[in-house]
Amino acid sequence: MRAEALRVAIVGAGPGGLCLAQGLKKRGIRFDVFERDHAANGRTQGYRIRIDHTGQKALAACLPKASYALFQHTCATPAAGVNVLDAQLRDVSGRWVSAWRKTPSDADDADRCAHRQTMREVLMHGIEPNVQFGKALSHYEEGPDGVTLYFTDGSTRAADALIGADGIHSVVRRQRLPGHDPVDTGSICIYGKARPEQLVGAFGTEALHGKTSIVFADGMSVIMDAMSFDPSAFESSESSVRFTRVDDYFYWALMGTRAAFGLAGDESLSLGREDINTLVGQSAASWASPLRAVFECSDAGSMAIASVHQAASITSWEPNRVTLLGDAVHAMSPAGGLGANTALQDASVLAECLADACSDEASVLTGISRYEVAMRSYGANALAASESSARALFDVGGGA
Ligand SMILES: Cc1cc2nc3c(=O)[nH]c(=O)nc-3n(C[C@H](O)[C@H](O)[C@H](O)COP(=O)(O)OP(=O)(O)OC[C@H]3O[C@@H](n4cnc5c(N)ncnc54)[C@H](O)[C@@H]3O)c2cc1C
């Protein structure tokens, strides 16, 4: 099949789906992205996201050069290293999260911290006409010559291949791989952001600035990062991207088992923002005052809670015209910071496999099959690394 004859439907405009769209555009393959959100900024996307070497390599491969430079420029000022602390802010030795790297080999190799909404805007740049918002997939039908997509608004669309990039509760996965829903790990993640202008100097929080901090407390851990941006990156006259304004913020994510938070079952899912705020305050009540200050300087409105799910495994299946990428196929604990990076890797590998199949005049199935073989292998490694990171973060005295 020639590249220009192929039409790919991507469901989901998260990091994985949009990166794939960019990679296909670069290779002259036609695509459409269908996203259930009503607009690109129709919902809070979360805050900071750590993009490691793998994710950066995938973005560089899929984005045009100027967009990749824009991604780099709009990331926060890199942290100068990692503090490993206990809840009284004493240095801790012997505990680490193996999926993280302490020291990059050079500055170009360092992890970057992006603001999620900004990253979505960079990934959308140049493909806006091909991304349709307010389109929630309900199901699909696969035929010998293609796939028909059915949306909840009653519309349909035909494509040669369907890529489910629709996240952890993927509709595509439920139909493509029934029985492979990710399992609840029993842990939760609460995240939010503090106002840095209130933090600096006032509460002795200097120790938490400049470096990423991992704080190990019994049965739970906090990751903290000061997110400080170069305002000129968002106003560059060379870029036609109209960025949503982002002020500097101090990001934190608190992770642990439900038991460590004193929660039972699915109770966490029904908590309102004020309840979450109270839960955070109670959990940190005996911690050092700079840590409590971070939570106290955070608006309850900025806080969110998510239960942590993880794919049990990535088993083998017969390839067809429908495949999956990112959280839709290998949802993993955020403990390792690998979910989005692996989704970006999927996007880059899949774009390349489809393009190679086109240039070999092979079928779209050949491209999908090559992608799935590669993805199962590195995806399984990422799942294992995320599991071991979760153990390292939550287990008292445990390390990975
Ligand atoms: C607190 C927290 C911190 C994290 N930090 C990091 C980090 O630092 N680094 C990292 O690599 N990972 C991190 N992760 C994991 C990361 O967020 C996910 O792995 C990543 O977002 C997965 O990308 P995706 O494109 O596969 O799916 P998603 O980002 O979930 O995107 C899926 C998209 O599909 C859309 N969609 C869903 N259903 C439908 C439908 N039926 N029809 C149409 N559209 C649909 C959704 O609206 C969404 O836009 C973190 C996760 C959490 C919770």
Q: What is the three-class DSSP state of 230?
A: coil
Among protein residues, the one whose CA lies closest to atom 4 of ligand 1: 334
What confidence score (pLDDT) does residue 399 get? 35
CA distance 35 to 268: 27
DSSP 6: -
Q: Which atom of ligand 1 is nearest to the CA of 16?
A: 25
The Å distance, Cα 1 to ligand 1 centre, comes to 31
- Tokens representing 192 are 């939010």
Least confident piece of the model among 41-50, 279-288, 330-339: 41-50
Q: Which residues line ligand 1 (CB under 6 A)?
A: 11-17, 34-37, 46, 49-50, 136-137, 165-167, 171, 189, 191, 253, 306, 326-328, 334, 337-341, 343
Q: Is 48 left (phi over 0), alpha (psi -120 to 50) or beta?
A: beta
Position 251 scores a pLDDT of 95
Task: Express each pLDDT in 15-69 by its tens digit.
Answer: 999 999 999 999 999 999 999 999 887 777 689 999 999 999 999 999 999 999 9
Domains in the chain: boundaries:
3-393
Q: Quick check: 163 and 8 in contact, CB under 8 A?
A: yes
Is the pLDDT reported for residue 256 higher than 50?
yes
Residue 43 CA, ligand 1 centroid: distance in Å = 13
The pLDDT tens digits of the residues spanning 365-400 come to: 999 999 999 999 999 999 999 999 888 887 644 333
User: What pTM, to 2 d.p., does this model score?
Assistant: 0.95
C-alpha closest to that of 215 among 226, 223, 204: 223
165-223 tens-digit pLDDT: 999 999 999 999 999 999 999 999 999 999 887 776 655 667 677 788 999 997 899 99
Residue in 306, 125, 93, 130 with CA at minimum distance from that of residue 216 = 93
The pLDDT value recorded for residue 316 is 87
pLDDT, residue 103, reads: 62
Site to probe by mutation for ligand 1, drawn from 327, 350, 389 as the one with most ligand atoms within 8 Å of Cβ, is 327
Residue type for 42, please?
Answer: G
Residue 5 is predicted with a pLDDT of: 83
pLDDT band at 267 (very low <50, low <70, confident <90, very high): low
Provide the CATH number for the domain formed by 3-393 in this structure.
Answer: 3.50.50.60
**Distance (Å) from CA 167 to ligand 1 centroid:** 5
Single-letter code of the amino acid located at 199: L
**How much is the pLDDT for 400?**
32
Has residue 276 got a pLDDT over 80? yes
Helix, strand, coil shares, percent, the chain, to 5: 40, 25, 40
* DSSP string over 69-87: HHHHHHSPPPPS-EEEEET
